[in-house]
Structure 1
Amino acid sequence: MAVYESVTDAIGGTPLFRLSRLSGLGDGGGAPVYAKAEFLSIGGSVKDRAALSMVQAAERAGLLRPGGTIIEATSGNTGIGLAIIGRQRGYRVLVGVSDRSAREKSDILRAYGAEVLLAPTSLPKEHPDHLFQVVRRLAEEIPGAWLANQYDNPANPDAHVRTTGPEIWEQTGGRITHFVAGVGTGGTISGTGAYLKQVSAGRVSVIGADPESSVYSGGDGSPYFVESIGHFVHPGTVEDLWPESFHPGVVDRFERIPDRESLLTARQLAREEGLLAGPSSGTALAAALRTARGLGPEDLVVVLLPDSGRSYLSKALSDDWLRQWGFLEEPRDADDKEPTVRSVLDPAPLTTVSSRATLGEALAALRPVPGGVAPVALERQERRHPVSASEVTGSIDGSAVEAALAEGRARPDDPLTALLGPVLPTVGVGQPLSDALAALGAAHSAAVVLVDGRAVSLVHRSRLTG
């Protein structure tokens, strides 16, 4: 058993596990799949490596001095690594966390002694309230502050050139043929992939696992529900800048994974292999399993599982959360015979109204809609998927518009924001009808039905009560 002088000495050195049940080798086909369990690092994620590398580089360069403050914007994991390392070294650690991150991550950060500031990321990056802008201002205002900036810090990918890549090469005895990882900041796949390509003389293929709508792999940039991975672009963003930590030339190809496949694969990993990993691990594993099916037993696939599922017990690994957002449709238990929202789902596509529409345009769109009510959503230049629930900004009622126009309180060319109603309640397609009725309460006549976190239909009270 290893004995360490410091917790930082326990960063990295994570084991490989052969996924004997999920890799499907029992049917005589495919390549073996091994999982690099980064959640067994001291801080619970692969980001411990980058955090240590960035702090050490900043200290060497004189950017971080005794009594200084470490500042970073994060979905959680990098901040946790920085908190562990920074607090042990006596630094103040101030972490800006996305307001969409799982609650557990903020709780963990505070437990390690970090100060946590929640800020939105569902805004254009140029917006002063965006998380990245908030932490940049703090770094400028606080004396002795150092902004880690994992997205553009070369010490991020360098950590994986020096540690993750060599570990995998040694653990597989040089037999690895395919490396699969998600792309968030890009540091992990860029550094690890570069090392494996170099040491194997180009024999190792590097596969990026990416949410289906992420722009890294050619998606439309709309929101997705897997944290710490991919690249979302708000429709109001002026310039879409990719992280400098991501070196696209290292990636040979991408596997684009829908959210449902990512989330249910993570759930399956825990139930069948005993590895409780986060949702981005589900994305990476789904991509690895796809890759392995097209290979033979002489190949060897290594997939990197970046973090622990313990940080997502209230969200992605909660069956109730999965049902609420339309990712899970199986009954709660074997005795649950109540019909679900799927049984009353309207097959007609949902009508949504652009947030940039005028009242006249909204009314024209609403006239053929049963009930005359529709969600209002952000306008996106290119949209290949149904509107994400997180892009719904309100609702519009045709009868209210008609009354306002008839009474002269509004004009057809007025923006619909003048009569914007509240966001309608949502219900997952796999939830029981009683849950949908409860979501309506007394104030609403219809709810938005979600499939895989995206708005696909409205269900009206009359359909729920029969």
Structure 2
Amino acid sequence: MPVGRTGLVAAPQVFESVVDAIGHTPLVRLNRVTAAGGAAVYAKLESTNPGGSVKDRIALSMVRAAEASGELRPGGTIVEGTSGNTGIGLALVAAGLGYRTVVVVPDKTSREKIAILRALGAEVRVTPGGRPTHHPEHVRNLAARIAAETPGGWLAGQYDNPANPEAHYRTTGPEIWKQTGGRVTHFVAGIGTGGTVSGTGRYLSEVSEGRVQVIGADPEHSVYGGGDGRAYYIEAVGHFRHPETVEDEWPQSYDPEVLSRIERVGDAEAFAVIARLAREEGLLVGGSAGVSVAAALRVAAELSPDDVVVVIVPDSGRSYLSKYFDEDWVGRLGFDVGAPAAETVGAESWSGTVGFVPSTATVAEALEILGDAAALPVVLARPGSTEVVVAEILGAAVLSTLTAAPQGDLVTAHLDPPLPVVGIRETRTAAAARLADDPRPVLLADNGVITAILDRSMEEGVEWAFSRSA
């Protein structure tokens, strides 16, 4: 057996540098969340990569390709726009190979990911996430500008970089084939940049001569699977389409032809799967895993015990403790926190109407919509939509503020802070504590969608409801 330069035997789990440790991730069978009589489901735990996610693979692949082409030179700066994990992978590779890193992330990125990026030495730029693709503050546009203006700067460009799917064709696919002894029959992965599902799926389809079925897992409202493109609550998967986007371009890293079908998964189902994996399987996983594992469980339930389903679990739940595992964050959006029904805010006693001001309205138009209301949410103007999604609320249109504003201005130039949101499944104690010092109208949320607006002056209003006995 060969001996490394340190004198250690070059065994499979002994590596000469951190970049050599990327990949080689385990498969773990799911035992308690699967349906009886269906196929076996194995989760490929990408959280065991050095940077904690599947994106370490593409980070190394893209950097090595850029070095080979001369685009990235010694002492250069790696720049990328990302929801976090690709930036972490790039920062890790940069630290190991001697590069500087600048990472642009949207403001919805978990604070844990941002902290990890900074700990790895990356310079982090946070930009608003709700921007159309042509806006200069859009994540990818800002990253491209920084790369162009930085001496020695190189834009990784994961969305359109062929080294992204190639990384999975060369590593993830062969690992799965070898680990299952060629018995894998169905492969499931979330669709984000599309690199994981496209590269891995292409390899497995080829090596099995078309026997392996490739299933993409997608958030319910993502445009990949035919959704309306509105905002959802799971990071790093799917494709959001801003209503002001002129041309909706899909990543070149994504090859839809590789997929056999797409399974669409709602936020509530994804959250429930995340919780079950932690409590029943001992697997603390990230949000996108909720989408992919939910899809895998559906697929497996349709199959026989002779089939084998492999699903990518992209990262760990440790990067989302302030979000998906925080009862306050989940509860105020109206998702289930497991509280007894008698202690929750509930929806049966509320009577309200859901009015809103579209982001394209002028001040004069907003005042007309407001009428006698003290305040209404201002929401991204999505044609044909009558729902108010919490994630698409930009702020509040407040009567007293707009009365003094120029009538021809856009309402978005005169926004007040967003109105407080209360979830129907959070406890009344938690909701009352959050509203204690806020006298404004309250938005009531059910699974991320506003179902009522409650005036604090209502005779049977918020104060009564939150103080009523269980």
Aligned to 1:224: 232
Aligned to 1:234: 242
Aligned to 1:450: 445
Code of the residue aligned with 2:462 in structure 1: it is L
1:21 to 10, 24, 32: 32
2:279 to 265, 271, 287: 271
Mind listing any 5+ residue stretches in structure 2 that lack a counterpart?
1-10, 465-470
1:82 aligns with 2:86: no
Shift in Å at residue 109 of structure 1? 1.2
SS in structure 2 at match of 1:216: coil
Shift in Å at residue 345 of structure 1? 3.3
Aligned to 2:114: 106
Shift in Å at residue 287 of structure 1? 0.3
Asked whether the equivalents of residues 99 and 119 of structure 1 are also in contact (C-alpha less than 8 Å), the reply is: yes
Code of the residue aligned with 1:168 in structure 2: it is I
Q: Take 2:72 and 2:414, find their aligned partners in 1: how far apart are those partners?
A: 51
Paired residues in the alignment total 450
Q: Take 2:363 and 2:69, find their aligned partners in 1: how far apart are those partners?
A: 58
Shift in Å at residue 292 of structure 1? 0.9
SS in structure 2 at match of 1:134: helix
1:460 aligns with 2:455: yes
Q: Residues 147 and 446 of structure 1: is their aligned pair in 2 closer, same or farther, counting only changes over 3 Å?
A: same
Greater shift, 130-139 or 277-286, is seen at: 130-139
1:242-281 superposed matches below 5 A: 242-281=250-289
Q: Residues 153 and 350 of structure 1: is their aligned pair in 2 closer, same or farther, counting only changes over 3 Å?
A: same
- RMSD over aligned Cα, in angstroms? 2.4
Q: Take 1:140 and 1:424, find their aligned partners in 2: how far apart are those partners?
A: 39
Aligned to 2:3: none
Shift in Å at residue 398 of structure 1? 6.5
1:433 aligns with 2:428: yes
Shift in Å at residue 186 of structure 1? 0.5
Aligned to 1:345: 350
Code of the residue aligned with 1:377 in structure 2: it is V
Aligned to 1:9: 20
Q: Take 1:410 and 1:86, find their aligned partners in 2: how far apart are those partners?
A: 50
Q: Take 2:261 and 2:353, find their aligned partners in 1: how far apart are those partners?
A: 33
Code of the residue aligned with 1:13 in structure 2: it is H
1:377 aligns with 2:379: yes
Q: Residues 337 and 380 of structure 1: is their aligned pair in 2 closer, same or farther, counting only changes over 3 Å?
A: closer
Deviations 1:39-89 (A, max 9, x none): 111111111110111111111111111111111111111111111111111
Aligned to 2:8: none
Code of the residue aligned with 1:424 in structure 2: it is L
SS in structure 1 at match of 2:210: coil
Asked whether the equivalents of residues 180 and 206 of structure 1 are also in contact (C-alpha less than 8 Å), the reply is: yes
- TM-score, scaled to structure 1: 0.90
SS in structure 2 at match of 1:71: strand
Shift in Å at residue 307 of structure 1? 0.6
Code of the residue aligned with 1:282 in structure 2: it is G
Greater shift, 128-137 or 175-184, is seen at: 128-137
Asked whether the equivalents of residues 161 and 195 of structure 1 are also in contact (C-alpha less than 8 Å), the reply is: yes
| Amino-acid identity (%) | 52
- Structure 1 segments of 4 or more deviating over 6 A? 398-401, 408-411
Deviations 1:79-135 (A, max 9, x none): 111111111111111111221100011111111121211112211121112221211
Q: Take 1:261 and 1:12, find their aligned partners in 2: how far apart are those partners?
A: 29
Shift in Å at residue 34 of structure 1? 0.7
Greater shift, 215-224 or 313-322, is seen at: 313-322
Deviations 1:9-41 (A, max 9, x none): 21111111110111122xxx2111111111111
Deviations 1:332-376 (A, max 9, x none): xx7x95442435433x65222323345665566555x8x564322
Q: Residues 92 and 415 of structure 1: is their aligned pair in 2 closer, same or farther, counting only changes over 3 Å?
A: closer
1:296 aligns with 2:307: no
SS in structure 1 at match of 2:50: coil
Q: Residues 376 and 119 of structure 1: is their aligned pair in 2 closer, same or farther, counting only changes over 3 Å?
A: closer
Q: Residues 64 and 259 of structure 1: is their aligned pair in 2 closer, same or farther, counting only changes over 3 Å?
A: same
1:65-464 superposed matches below 5 A: 65-331=73-339, 338-346=343-351, 350-357=354-361, 362=366, 365-366=369-370, 373-383=375-385, 386-396=387-397, 416=411, 421-461=416-456, 462=458, 463-464=461-462
Asked whether the equivalents of residues 286 and 320 of structure 2 are also in contact (C-alpha less than 8 Å), the reply is: yes
Code of the residue aligned with 2:227 in structure 1: it is G
Shift in Å at residue 436 of structure 1? 3.2
Q: Take 1:40 and 1:396, find their aligned partners in 2: how far apart are those partners?
A: 46
Shift in Å at residue 322 of structure 1? 1.1
Q: Take 1:446 and 1:128, find their aligned partners in 2: how far apart are those partners?
A: 34
Aligned to 1:30: 38
